[in-house]
Each structure stands twice: as structure tokens, then as C-alpha cells.
Amino acid sequence: MCGPAAIAIAGTAVSVAGKVVEHRARSKQASSARGLADQNLALERRDLAIRATEEKRATARSIDEILLDAGIVTGSVQQSAATGNVRGQSVNEMLRDVERSAAGEIDTLRDQETLTLAQLQRLREGSELRREAAHLQNKSPSKLATGLRIGADLIGGVTTHDQLKAIRS
């Protein structure tokens, strides 16, 4: 049969080992969760960067098309005016209308692009906040707290030893 000291030491050792194992498992789980949050953020950043690049390219293509169309219309007006031997204010006014129309369409496209890029920036900021929240929710357990729990187990072991010793006496 085991003596009170052996029982107290064995019980305390099991309890301390359990606390150490629990600490390591919680640390590993928290680290994995933070790593997953970092990976998700990286993927979201990449996707948002791709979307921003696509938006800029689409706007540039649309502007090119507007300018091309405006150039064709301008050329057509100039050719028609030259063929009909028409000059003066009416031709100049038609050319200014084509220019204003193209500029208005381009301004609208740039405004839409600015809005879309601002939305993507807000999404990026939201991703950053979700990552920070995940990091805060998945902090590694405190070594101090684990040490205090182990200390409490050791004190409990000493108390158990003393109680068993007193019963035996």
C-alpha cells in the first residue's frame, strides 16, 4: 500500500501534467486559429487587389472606347463639313458637343471607378478588422495563469498530504 506522501505526490503530478498538456493544447489551438485568420486575410487581400486591378482595366478600356467613338464622330463631322463645304460656328458647336459628351461619359466612368475602389478599400479594412478580432479571440493561454493553476495544485497536494498524514496518525 502506498503511503500518504506517495498518494499526494502522484495525485499532484497527474494534476500538474494535465495542466501542462492543457496549456500546450490551448496554445497550439490558438496558434492554428491565428494562422487560419492570417491565411484568410491574405486570400481576401489578393482577391480584392485582383478586383481593383480589373476595375481599373475595365475603366481604361471603356475610356479608350469612348475616345475612339468620339474620334470617329469628330472625323465624320469634319469630313461631312468639308464635303459640304460647311464651316463656321455650327461645325465648331457640333465638335464641342462631341467633346463634352465624351468628357461627361469619362467623368461618370471615373466616378464609378472611384466609388468601386472605395468600396474595395472598405472591404479590405473589414478583412483587417476580422483578422484582428480572430487574433484577440484566439490568444495563447497565459503562462502565468497556467503557473498559478499548477501552484494551486501543488498547494492542494501538500494539503492532501498533510490531511492523509493527520488521518494516519
Q: How does the average pLDDT of the chain come out, rounded?
A: 87
Q: How far is residue 152 CA from its own chain's centroid?
A: 41
Q: What is the pLDDT of residues 18-29, one digit of tens each?
A: 888 888 898 899
Kindly tell me the burial class for residue 105, based on how many C-beta atoms sit within 10 Å of its own C-beta (0-12, 13-18, 19 or more): middle
Domain total of the chain: 1
Q: What is the domain extent for residue 31?
A: 4-168
The pLDDT value recorded for residue 2 is: 63
Mean pLDDT value across residues 63-88 = 90
Query: What's the whole-model pTM score?
Result: 0.66
